[in-house]
Structure 1
């Protein structure tokens, strides 16, 4: 039985591996800073205790954990000639990555619904997106993702008794499951079947939601207002398309196909690049967030917020 795996990464291309290290290190620091700043600002500023920023604080926490589950190891492996990882650690990393990635898929769909309610039903927005519904939607995203990612492990166990070379940067599920010597066909069918409710359905829901939002924006009389709304929606759709498009490309293909360098680079798009872009696109371009950052720096409250480790969910104020 296999006791450890060998991660290939870009070991055959030393120069490319050095470039990858520099880029990933920059992306990781920006991801931690941007998402960490968003969490601190949202928790500290009472003006941002609204449903939209409640979802954004959850998205930031997911992005931090998601990138931290794999990127630090990839950075370390760039300087190791023969990068190895125990099987138990590899499987833990794989299922944690699946769990957090699925949670983000569902949460992005929830955020699209929140924007739909705000734009298409502004007068009833506070009644629709009440505290109970917001907490229920977020909790459901975490619970359903856990059930789909982790629970099947106990019903479809994977054993490894053959090759132990993973042609990838980290323990990506598509690359790891190819090495399994039991239930290979069942795992492949279940992986594709699981990708439909996790990737395809939320992506189609987001597309339909933004089409409805676009129709509502076209009714705005102000040309400046329409331009601003389309700019914001366009930015959101670009990030969503990168995340879902790259993930669907990876998880809707047969596991029997050999992993290529292109597949490894595509996995970086949804594993590292999208978590870096999320706070920039969704929050840091927002005037309310910029104002909250300035107020936080001026008051010095950020020190207290950082020292008192915040919970993963930002509390909401009671709706009027």
Structure 2
């Protein structure tokens, strides 16, 4: 009987963001607008970097990669969330659920590693400006970007391997997408090894990325203190401010989600934390980096001006 129950669940029901009918349409419209801005903003940023040869340098290659990952992360989660808000049938198959988590796992982990690589790039730019073209060349930048995607893939495939070996008895997922923690809670037996693996691997990825970022900016601070120049301080803040803000948002929410004990987790709090790094941060990143970067804004104005002029001509 236990075996029969363990193998009968091949579909799940996503509870979504809310059970209140009066909130579903307003939330649908809000998150639809956010998603459209996310895709337009991130793909537009990639197009600006791609079309401007002056932006084909490591700093903007990292930024373009981050925009691509943000677009993938949002596209993995938001469309299904929008469907769940309005559809009466909130069912998602097990295979679709596993694919969604796998795509989410690659994107979320890759973003962690990308933020760490970007902090190293800022360290070299500020602490070793004369050697920057030699150290941080396009070849090293490409290698680092490829490694971030490989790291994201390996991290996701490990969790995927343990997930496909589980049997699920509970068909209801108290979330708006298939994350690993809600899936583990639906397992027929308490998967303690999988829970420990989540906390160990997720903690290791975040610890490695955060320590890299912390070390990079520690050297940056010491370099600024040695120079004792207000101009250098403003330049460093202009260079690193957007990245630091993005890091604090992203790692702050991930820390609450995957590093705190399972006993301290609540479904409603998990949903709010997930909304921040799957929906809110992807739409904020292109705004944060573009508004604080004069080269990107100038290139965007030039492209828009050229396109408008060409259209009327």
Could you tell me which residue of structure 2 aligns to residue 290 of structure 1? 297
**Residue-by-residue CA offset, 1:261-308 (whole Å, 9 max, x unaligned):** 12101111111111111112223431111111122223339x9xxxxx
1:34-113 map, 5 Å: 34-113=41-120
What is the alpha-carbon distance in structure 2 between the residues aligned to residue 102 and residue 115 of structure 1?
20
Could you tell me which residue of structure 1 aligns to residue 249 of structure 2? 242
Distance 1:155-1:16 versus aligned 2 partners, 3 A rule: closer
Distance 1:21-1:225 versus aligned 2 partners, 3 A rule: farther
**Deviation at 1:158?**
3.4
Deviates more, 1:167-176 or 1:214-223: 214-223
CA contact (8 A) 2:170 2:186 kept: yes
CA contact (8 A) 2:242 2:292 kept: no
Matched, 1:271 2:243: no
What is the alpha-carbon distance in structure 2 between the residues aligned to residue 135 and residue 258 of structure 1?
38
What is the alpha-carbon distance in structure 1 between the residues aligned to residue 189 and residue 196 of structure 2?
13
Question: Normalization by structure 2: what TM-score?
Answer: 0.89
Matched, 1:26 2:33: yes
Distance 1:259-1:4 versus aligned 2 partners, 3 A rule: farther
Q: How many residues align?
A: 303
The structure whose residues are more often helix, as a share, is 2
What is the alpha-carbon distance in structure 2 between the residues aligned to residue 258 and residue 119 of structure 1?
40
What is the alpha-carbon distance in structure 2 between the residues aligned to residue 30 and residue 19 of structure 1?
17
1:1-320 map, 5 Å: 1-154=8-161, 157-181=164-188, 184-220=191-227, 222-255=229-262, 259-300=266-307
Q: Which runs of 5+ in 2 are unaligned?
A: 1-7
**Deviation at 1:205?**
1.8
Distance 1:258-1:151 versus aligned 2 partners, 3 A rule: closer
Deviates more, 1:169-178 or 1:251-260: 251-260
What is the alpha-carbon distance in structure 2 between the residues aligned to residue 160 and residue 43 of structure 1?
45
Q: Which runs of 5+ in 1 are unaligned?
A: 304-320
The higher relative CO (CA closer than 8 Å, separation ≥ 6) is in 1
SS in 1 for 2:167: coil
What is the alpha-carbon distance in structure 2 between the residues aligned to residue 226 and residue 23 of structure 1?
39
What is the alpha-carbon distance in structure 2 between the residues aligned to residue 51 and residue 265 of structure 1?
34
**Residue-by-residue CA offset, 1:88-116 (whole Å, 9 max, x unaligned):** 10111011101110011001100010010
Distance 1:217-1:30 versus aligned 2 partners, 3 A rule: farther
CA contact (8 A) 2:162 2:194 kept: no
**Residue-by-residue CA offset, 1:185-244 (whole Å, 9 max, x unaligned):** 111011011012211221122122223223323445553552353255333222211111
CA contact (8 A) 1:11 1:17 kept: yes
Aligned CA RMSD, in angstroms, stands at 2.3
What is the alpha-carbon distance in structure 2 between the residues aligned to residue 231 and residue 39 of structure 1?
21
What is the alpha-carbon distance in structure 1 between the residues aligned to residue 269 and residue 28 of structure 2?
17
